[in-house]
């Protein structure tokens, strides 16, 4: 397949053609290999996203392709599940307000889960986890939280704290997935 026949976002193509930076060359080689093997855009996307190479999954190109295609790409959630399962702490939470409730006795916030009401997966990535870059590229930044706080089982209740955290975290979400990524203070 020729690059000019590939029907994906031009920024994603720019990311895939980048050869400068952490593991950019590895990603570019994978991009070219997939481009050479694919007959059309759909086949390219399926092949490109099928990698299990951590460096490619954590690349900006992978995350941008997944975000741009996920509204139309059947089965996109399996790629999010793959990364979310790499977190040190995984919880299932429910939502009646479209979010994840974070707080303690003196404050609380409801962070959008990017989807709406229902049951969704929340993942907590601790410092040093190699999949943190994937979260940053695949999901949308919501808020930074610093201090001692709880993750609640439902966004409209205070009675069940699933986990208590202390530290500095960035909260990301995308289409029903929420990730908290531990930061240096």
The pLDDT of residue 151: 94
Q: How confident is the model at residue 67 (pLDDT cuts 50, 70, 90)?
A: confident
Is 70 exceeded by the pLDDT of residue 73? no
Residues with Cβ < 8 Å from 94, sequence gap 6 or more?
118, 119, 120, 153, 154, 155
114 close to 173: Cβ distance less than 8 angstroms: yes
Domain boundary among 74, 97, 127: 74
Is 90 exceeded by the pLDDT of residue 156? no
The pLDDT of residue 17: 94
Residues with Cβ < 8 Å from 72, sequence gap 6 or more?
none
Is 90 exceeded by the pLDDT of residue 43? yes
Structural domain span for residue 102: 87-183
Count of structural domains, the chain: 2
Whether 142 and 64 map to the same domain: the answer is no
In a domain, residue 82? The reply is: no
The residue to which tokens 């299932």 are assigned: 92
Burial status of residue 161 (CB atoms within 10 A of its CB: 0-12, 13-18, 19 or more):
middle
Whether 92 and 162 map to the same domain: the answer is yes
């Amino acid at each position: 397949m020729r690059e000019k026949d590939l029907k994906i976002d031009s920024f994603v193509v720019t990311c895939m053609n980048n050869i400068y930076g952490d593991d950019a060359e590895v990603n570019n080689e994978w991009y070219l290999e997939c481009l050479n093997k694919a007959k059309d855009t759909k086949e390219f996307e399926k092949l490109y996203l099928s990698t299990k190479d951590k460096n490619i999954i954590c690349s900006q190109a992978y995350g941008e392709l997944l975000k741009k295609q996920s509204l139309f790409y059947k089965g996109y959630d399996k790629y999010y599940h793959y990364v979310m399962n790499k977190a040190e702490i995984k919880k299932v939470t429910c939502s009646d307000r479209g979010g994840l409730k974070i707080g303690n006795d003196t404050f609380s916030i409801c962070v959008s889960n990017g989807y709406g009401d229902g049951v969704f997966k929340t993942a907590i990535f601790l410092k040093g986890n190699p999949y943190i870059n994937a979260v940053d590229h695949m999901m949308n930044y919501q808020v930074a939280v610093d201090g001692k706080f709880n993750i609640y089982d439902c966004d409209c209740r205070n009675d069940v704290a699933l986990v208590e955290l202390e530290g500095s975290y960035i909260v990301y979400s995308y289409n029903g997935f929420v990730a908290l990524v531990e930061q240096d203070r």
